[in-house]
Amino acid sequence: MKTSKTKTSAGLKSTRGASRTVRTTKVTSLRHEPGEEEIRRKASEIYNKRVKKGEPGTELGDWLKAEKLLKRS
């Protein structure tokens, strides 16, 4: 059986019959805080869709919805 050396964060480790090295990476989530211009564009998009459908609403409501959607992303 073939013995190979793989490199890990703790150093080298022997593995028997290993044909490839598997690496794991810790993924961290970085939250993006949307800027005023980005919120303005999204609120405008929401407003235009709402008006086109003839749905009721307010500019403030569109703004708050845009903030909520962008902060979730």
Task: With cut-offs at 50, 70 and 90, classify the pLDDT of residue 21.
Answer: confident
Name the nearest CA neighbour of 46 among 35, 33, 55, 36.
55
* Model pLDDT, residue 69: 96
* Model pLDDT, residue 4: 52
* Model pLDDT, residue 61: 98
Look up residue 8 and give its DSSP letter.
E
pLDDT, tens only, 23-62: 776 666 677 789 999 999 999 999 999 999 999 999 999 9
So where are the chain's domains? 36-73
Q: How far apart are the first and last CA of the chain?
A: 49
If you average pLDDT over residues 4-18, what whole number do you get? Answer: 54
Distance CA 50, CA 43 (A): 10
